[in-house]
Structure 1
């Protein structure tokens, strides 16, 4: 006969060390205070020496997944002696990215197929409804500071996204992007069937080049 001590039994979550962390709500404070949206891992008492030593702000722990860290990517890279040089220019600081929509929008316009352009339409729709990207584009911040005299993929995408949300309930032609198809990738041909993933990669690459000097 086997005797089991019921008091020593643990739930499945406790047995693997998965508990809701005491730091499970809140975001990065404007004053630089630290909290995280979600953490998975063993809890730590509020009077823990480690907690006191860090000023109430815990970094990632073994077996933990922590999001919304207070340190920017540049600050973290300073703390890590990995031999990698700091970036000369930070295009989009993490603290300025808004992962959720900053403004409520109605569903934007649909995109008309201009003849084997479903690859382009699907990629454009994915980018248009990526909240952090669309939030930035709708501020028109890039075009206000863009000094590119020729083709600029960022300006092209900004105009497209603004047009989509300005024509909610309608169907528009993505002419602005189609006219720049050869500049996005030289081997793309208007009217030819192309790969949506390939178009997306070249589009993102073209936008990055528009933000970096000397990459045209």
Structure 2
């Protein structure tokens, strides 16, 4: 059993359950022993990233309600991280600046990786499983900060083609950073320095994380650096201060890394400078409200605590419905989500709509997982289902390819996902006010290999030229859109078609 399951009061075996924020994020598997391969960590992926400080329950505030041991496909990964004074090893960074370190590392040979062992990585990867990227020029990491012309889309057209050096098992980070780099509204927010006015001086990192991220984006989008590569070491130094689990150079999961990055960036530009004291919800009174009024109430309550450019782009709202099997009483709750983790049906010819149908299908809660019905005042068998109340501008879909704890496996089945016109309006609630929910794919974080030996890359659509490129650490090359959809697709980034 890993550290996460040891430190949580919730059962993590079988179907995961909803955690509404009682578990601080820094307690989640920070010291889990690595296996030194870029495949995801050995515990269950949660279905929904609910965002910082989500504190709702579905029926009532009893310890037996959904705040406790209730079967669910979701988990709220949030909390705060202690400040750590960590300095990046400049000597090691210089060594890595001129070379590529593959992530197809031999599990047998790599028993521990840290900054002191950079020089050994070259000799320890497995040549049988390794894939070496083509060498490309390396940008000078000590170069002065880049200043790009404000609102000059002409300069953007020639940028965005800078690779990222692998620092040692960091392809998971490079893959996500390239996907975020091609998220146009977020990148322009950085390139045009609009984030500066939003820096939250009361944040624990004092803006250092966002500054390092924005500086990296400016390097990636500098047209003078096209077809070269740069080092993300400064950003890594800051993200590991925010999230100590990313210290060192062990394998990590790209979707999990994305969650931490988005939360860290959000906290740095949170418009709420001082959080108000939380008000205990009156669940019985709220159950009497129409769904649209309740949804608006929950959304305003969320924005009173967490409101940023990151929230504007990535956060949607999900409705969870519980129906009592005895009295047919229905209770709804609304929660923010940053991404959706979709189960993959066990069949051939799977589509992303099949995964969404399975995610939103009714699930029966019975046995010890039964919640307390607010009307019956006792535990009852019930059904639970999800639907979408608010569609985000940027929709992140995570395919749950990895399963199991002791005997882990990867589902390498081909999941077909459309490049454009992904219509999700059929998954909306009846009270949803959005009339259209069509999405266009613009980035994919890919995972190739197995559970124990794997590698992350990214396929991204340049938002200004409309050209697709493959990002394999330091190597960048153009690809056709026909090669974007593959069985390696792991985290999908869609943008809402306005």
| TM-score normalised by length of structure 1 | 0.48
| TM-score normalised by length of structure 2 | 0.22
Point out the structure with the larger strand share.
2
Give the number of the structure whose alpha-carbon radius of gyration is greater.
1
Highest RCO, 1 vs 2 (Cα 8 Å, sep ≥ 6): 2
